[in-house]
Structure 1
Amino acid sequence: MAGGWSRDGAEHEQMDATINDALDRVRSSLPKGESAEFCDECGNPIPEARRIAVAGVQHCIGCQTELEKEARAAELFNRRGSKDSQLR
């Protein structure tokens, strides 16, 4: 239900745009090119199976996990959709 100056269906268009923007951001951050033999963060060797499975990988599993945790913590807004969780 649209209210105020918005037209009917505007909420769904906004949600779709938000999802599409997030997908575009994730796709653009996927590694490309040749995989590294050694992790860029810690210098440990990256297993061959990981280099084959993830094209362009630059980090070992441990460092990649930590980088993803930091990125998740730095998100600017809550995507869970609950108004209560956004107010906390």
Structure 2
Amino acid sequence: MAGGWSRDGAVQDQIDASVEDAVNQVRSRIPNGESLTRCEECDAEIPEARRRAIAGVRLCVSCQSEQDKQQVIQGGYNRRGSKDSQLR
């Protein structure tokens, strides 16, 4: 049930849009193309099994782990201006 000037289902539309944005952001970070044989950060050899498992891999396991730790999840307000805490 929507209140004020919003139509029924508006909150669900905001939630769906936020989820879709997050999925698209993650998909854009998926590597593709030819895998490297050596890590582009530390020049260590990337094992054959990793290259076959992940298409377009560019980092060794150690460097990838470090990069994953450094990524920050952004919160606050979504693009439609609703409170992020209401969407959790």
Unmatched segments (≥5 aa) in structure 2: 77-83
CA distance in 2, matches of 1:30, 1:65: 15
CA distance in 2, matches of 1:3, 1:43: 58
1:45 alignment partner in structure 2: 45
Deviation, structure 1 residue 31: 0.5
Unmatched segments (≥5 aa) in structure 1: none
TM-score, scaled relative to structure 2: 0.79
Deviation, structure 1 residue 36: 0.4
Structure 1 range deviating more: 49-58 or 24-33: 24-33
Aligned length: 79
TM-score, scaled relative to structure 1: 0.79
Deviation, structure 1 residue 4: 2.7
Deviation, structure 1 residue 2: 2.4
Show structure 1 runs of 4+ deviating over 4 A: none
Query: Which structure shows the bigger proportion of residues in helix conformation?
Result: 1
Q: Which has the higher contact order (CA 8 A, sep 6+)?
A: 2
